Structure 1
Amino acid sequence: MRQYLITKKWSYTTAIFSIILSEIVSVQFPHVLGEFTDALSRGALTSVLIAHYAFELLVIGILYVLLYGVGQMLNGRSGRIFEYQLRKRLFEHWESLSTDYYQQRSIGDLLNHAMNDVRAVREALSGGANILTNAVFLLLATLYMTFTTISVQLTFISMIPILLVPVLVVWFGPKIRTASREVQEALSAMAEFTEESLSAVRLIKATASEEVEAQRFSRKVQEIVKRQMHMVKRSAIFQSSIPLLGSLSFSIALLYGGLLTVSHKILLGQFVAFTLYLAMIITPLQQIGFVINNFQRASASLARLRVLLSARPSVVDSKTAISLPHVQGAIEVKLDFFRYPNSEHKVLEGIAFSVQPGQTIGIVGRTGAGKTTLANLLLRVFDPPRGAIFIDGVDIRDVVLRDLRTAIAYVPQDGFLFSTTIAENIGFAKAEATPSELMQAAKDAMVYEEIVRFKEGMNTQIGERGVTLSGGQKQRVAIARALIKNAPIMILDDSLSAVDMNTEKMLITRLKQLRTKKTTLIIAHRLSAVFHADQILVLDEGRIVERGTHEELLQRFGIYRTLYDLQQGEQGVTV
């Protein structure tokens, strides 16, 4: 935030200067009324003089509105720009972090940071700057006018209760800040629950659990209300204490100022002006209390945002990383073992194989065998040990991450789709793709004929996560997205599980035709997806227990043959 304030120093300086001038103008109002009262008490008022005083008040009002309006507009504009830049910076920072970060943080919590915490800081920066500048300089200008035009002694005595304001700030400030942090944490918990519940809405409806979810949500909201009431209680006591002190000052001023007026030590007009000045002092005191309250809340939000922005990706380019713009697709794996961060369990062990450009490798095995983990290591979603995985003879730990991931077209298990059009989903990895390229990719993925049946065709909005498409359609759109990338390496991570057998067979045949000189890794539970592979790896408990072609593995009567017989019996699989 400090850097932003420096870059916008002239805007904020101009805004503050405009607000200061507006307060200098506004404090002339009681002075003019005081003069008017003195002229009235002396019987010296004429129609010309009345018009003169009225014109002065009109000019004061117009100048105040113009000057304060300019300051408020400049501060508000700078605050909105700050809000935009901070949200943009947050998103870009989140995009740079590694996958493991999101395994520890919920999406709902992150969204709460991007919405509520950023807004709290912006309100303190723009609205708070307006009000604080206005309040402080109105207070100073008012005190100056009372010192120079009325009575120094009356001003000092009347201001005695105001000296307790710093004590209130020191006492209540940390309490309000703590309460605000607790409210934000409760809001994050609610956002996390909401995101999770809406994502599982199909399951909730299928199990008739709407009432249960509503009760769970109600408890989250009740916790927010509880913490907000706790914060409101502290804020209310703090903010009401300041005008209370102002009222005490006003009482003292009436008592002592009235005595000074009766004893003719000050004029009646001066006493009237002083009461107006004192009323003007109470307003900025209330505003200062409001701003301090907001700043305490914003400081809690700012601390939370600093924690977010201090996070660093666990997978980064090494200092000696080299560019690899033209990957051929040769892969060599010599992995002794791999375990996830903060875990002692070996997920993969003794993994060794090689793939040449143009070859297709099938990777099969029971659930939990480590197939997806192997794909994640190839992509460096998690860093493999150094010297474990090579592409074109280069350790992937020494390759620029962007080049490595550009060289790989990856289709995940869930075939994730964005809540936009089919065309934009297919062209996600190639923003400059032409309509004909998008259409050809859809045809290659065996999904085009189904797309054109939709009323909007390729421009069909598919909803969140592709909710309007069937499981098989989502997987094939995801495959089309990978095909249009035309990468030297493709990884299909169980991406055909929801496709019917006939379509799967045609799709596999098409992939063989398209990728004759490229490397393809097919991870699958359904063995029919890997029958054609040049080599099939069978993983079990993180180890390669069998390898060979489909025919070779059938002859060994091992795990592969067991899985084949089981699937053949269940689905009528034939070679």
Structure 2
Amino acid sequence: MNPRTLLKQFLRDYKWAYGFSILTIIASEFINVQFPHILGKFTDALQAHRLTFHDVVVYALLLFVVGVVYVLLYGIGQYRNGKFGRDFEYLLRRRLFEHWELLSTEYFRLKSIGDLLNHAMNDVQQVREALAGGVNILTNAIFLLVATLVMTFTTVSAKLTVVSIIPLLFIPFFIIWLGPRIRFASRRVQEGLSDMSELTEESFSSIRLIKATANEPVETARFQERVDEIVKRQLTLFRRSALFQSFIPTMSSISFAIALLYGGYLALSGQIRLGSFVAFTLYLGLLVQPLQQIGFVINNFQRASASLARLQILLDEKPSITDAPNPLDVQTLVGDIRVDLSSFQYRDATEPVLRDIEFHIKPGQTLGIVGRTGSGKTTLVNLLPRIFDPPANSIFIDGHDIRELPLATLRQSIAYVPQDGFLFSTSIGVNISFGDADATMEQIERAAKAACVYDDIMAFPDGFDTVIGERGVTLSGGQRQRTAIARAFLKQVPILIMDDSLSAVDMKTEKRIIEALEKVRQTRTTIIIAHRLSAVRHADQILVIEDGQIAEQGTHDELIALDGLYAKTYHMQQEGEVLVQ
């Protein structure tokens, strides 16, 4: 559901509640316009010397009651509409997040996280302010304007009213001319804020590299450049907004001048009473106020319209990877994997990254994948859970083309340890149980022991309740990897993928993890990507990937006997281990 449809649906659902809030604001304004009328009556009585102390008290009480009732009614309307605006803000942000969760990984490869966050924060806030504050002010302005005109026409002078408001009639035409220009300038400011958010997010993510290379001045200069551009765009918006806001007071000043001249003449000639003239000057102030408010609201609506258009683009995005029109009715998988991939390339690439990949793993077997950095190993395993979509009839699990399987069934059947071992900013225990929220503490501890991270966790004062920073920044690289491995061990699924997830652990710890893995993988189909060949030497089958193709294939002993790339790499690593020992 796009934001405009969502807004319409929200307003339909809350129409009676909104109606009540608007009625309280309308009532408050009809109460408010009684103030000049009462003060005019008081002035006439004062001029005629008909006032007693009792009358003064009555007029004072009347004005007090008008003020109190106005504040109560207007306050109720303001509060309720403000609450509805917050409700819609929450609904829209939740809808955005849910939509982003559905989009494919390909989308996030091409989008800046900072830009997306700017949408979720600034654009949604602009819409909320227009919906809550804008509706309040617009309702107040329209009905204050109507109520004031009714009072001036019926209690003062129709002629004086018509002549005095002539300059004010130019305001709507000015709004129509300048409004689109404000909307365009507002959109440019939002785009600038997105650029700044993108750079900020990028800099914070790479803060260690920036400090290690003493590049703080470079980053500061880049940030300053973005900020300067935002300032230029904001000044353009402020100039147009200032012109917009200054035009209304100018017209109101002309109206006041006309009212004083013509109203003074009518009062001096006896055509209207002095009290009516005093009341009209107050009414004229009330007339200017809603016109200024209408200008302010339209200015806000122009900004909100630009933000709504940007949100519309976001929510119109469709996931590139979805269930087939008629997915197979498969609820569980065993883990028999067969790959017959002629080629695969990314959408934004000009050359295939994988070519002629063919292998078969039976349930409970282990496949090792080795190769140089950038050879296509991670891309290959990312095709299995359809992080990226493979061509049709190229990858099969249990004899089914994975493109025909329900996405939920496919992905729930795979435990995946990515290269970076991503961790969330919560407790270690919650991170381990991420794939199985119903896991018991005993199961979590068992998984941690199998991943050789239990002792590290228990060394923290709060143990498994230790809260780690964003991306697990408080843990070492090895601890992060082992925690991610524990999370995968805990998830009881038929397929386990480990993408170079032992690179940050020492050789002794690696051996202990592999020993634990031998027990785990007896009931799982396991795929291990590694640079250290000791992690895959016990695999049932090993692929050596070179430039996106299978250069060598076989068991450890077969590849050693082949005396090719695998054998040379293995002997070099063996010599290195001897030197380390």
Q: What band does the TM-score fall into relative to the shorter chain?
A: over 0.9
- Displacement of 1:573 after TM fit? 9.0
2:312 to 297, 302, 306: 306
Task: Decide which of 432, 457, 478 is 2:463's aligned counterpart.
Answer: 457
Give the distance between the partners of 1:202 and 1:346, measured in 2 at CA. 33
Matches within 5 A, 1:509-548: 509-548=515-554
Q: CA deviation at 1:326?
A: 1.9
Give the secondary structure class of the aligned counterpart of 1:329.
coil
The answer to whether the 8 Å contact 1:369/1:542 transfers is: yes
Paired position in structure 1 for 2:4: none
Q: What CA distance in whole angstroms lies between the structure 2 residues aligned with 1:323 and 1:290?
A: 57
Shift of 1:118: 0.6
Q: Structure 1: how far apart are the matches of 2:135 and 2:249?
A: 21
Cα distance in 1 between the residues matched to 2:554 and 2:38? 99
Q: Which residue does the alignment assign to 1:113? A: 119
Whether 1:173 and 2:179 are equivalent positions in the alignment is yes
Paired amino acid for 2:376: G
Q: Which residue of 1 aligns with 2:490?
A: 484
| 2:218 equivalent to 1:207 | no
SS in 1 for 2:497: strand
Given candidates 308, 326, 336, the residue that maps to 1:330 is 336
For the Cα contact (< 8 Å) 1:324–1:404, is it kept in 2?
no
Cα distance in 2 for partners of 1:478, 1:536 equals 23
**Aligned partner letter, 1:535:** Q
Out of 282, 291, 294, the position equivalent to 1:288 is: 294
Structure 1 letter corresponding to 2:324: S
**Alignment root-mean-square deviation, CA:** 1.2
Match of 1:569 in 2: 575
Alignment of 1:60-459 (within 5 A): 60-459=66-465
CA pair 420-520 structure 1, distance change in 2 beyond 3 A: same
Q: CA deviation at 1:343?
A: 2.8
Q: 1:294 to 1:187 in 2, by over 3 A?
A: same
- Contact 1:334/1:388 (<8 A) preserved: yes
Match of 2:57 in 1: 51
Residues 408 and 489 in structure 1, CA contact (< 8 A), matched pair in contact too: yes
SS of aligned partner of 1:60? helix
Q: 2:25 aligns with which of 19, 44, 50?
A: 19
Partner of 1:33: 39
Q: Relative to structure 2, which stretch is displaced further, 558-567 or 113-122?
A: 558-567
Percent of aligned pairs sharing the same letter = 60
Counterparts of 1:279 and 1:385, CA distance in 2: 71
CA drift at 1:45: 1.1
Instruction: Tell me by how many angstroms 1:488 deviates.
Output: 0.5
Letter of the 1:562 partner, please give it: K
**CA offset digits 1:242-296 (Å, max 9, x no partner):** 1111111111011111111111111111111111100111111111111111111
Stretches of structure 1 lacking an aligned partner (at least 5 in a row): none
In the alignment, residue 35 of structure 1 is paired with which amino acid? K
- Measure, in 1, the Cα distance between the counterparts of 2:187 and 2:527: 48
Q: Is the 8 A contact 1:112 1:191 kept in 2?
A: yes
Letter of the 1:22 partner, please give it: S
Partner SS for 1:545? strand
Which whole-Å deviations, capped at 9, do the CAs of 1:469-521 have from their partners, x for residues lacking one?
11111111000001111210000011111111111111111111122121000
CA contact (8 A) 1:416 1:478 kept: yes
**What SS does the aligned partner of 2:58 have?**
helix
Q: Counterparts of 1:323 and 1:566 in 2: how far apart (Å)?
A: 49
Residue type of the partner of 1:113? Answer: H
Cα contact 1:567–1:573 (8 A) shared by 2: no
Cα deviation 1:330-367 (Å, max 9, x = unaligned): 11111111111143311111111111111001011112
Count of residue correspondences: 574
Paired letter, 1:367: T
SS, match of residue 355 in structure 2: strand
Answer whether contact 1:243 1:285 (CA < 8 A) is retained.
Answer: no
Kindly indicate whether the alpha-carbon contact (under 8 Å) linking 1:528 and 1:573 is maintained by their aligned counterparts in 2. no
Q: What's the offset of the Cα at 1:444?
A: 0.8
More divergent stretch after superposition (90-99 vs 506-515):
506-515
SS in structure 1 at match of 2:390: coil
1:209 shift after superposition: 1.7
Q: Is the partner of 1:572 in helix, strand or coil?
A: helix
Matched, 1:42 2:42: no
Instruction: Give how far 1:310 is off.
Output: 0.7
Task: Point out where structure 2 has 5 or more consecutive residues left out of the alignment.
Answer: 1-6
How far the C-alpha of 1:13 sits from its partner, in A, is 0.8
Q: Secondary structure at the match of 2:474?
A: coil
Measure, in 1, the Cα distance between the counterparts of 2:288 and 2:94: 40
Paired amino acid for 1:558: G
**In structure 2, distance between residues paired with 1:223 and 1:424:** 42
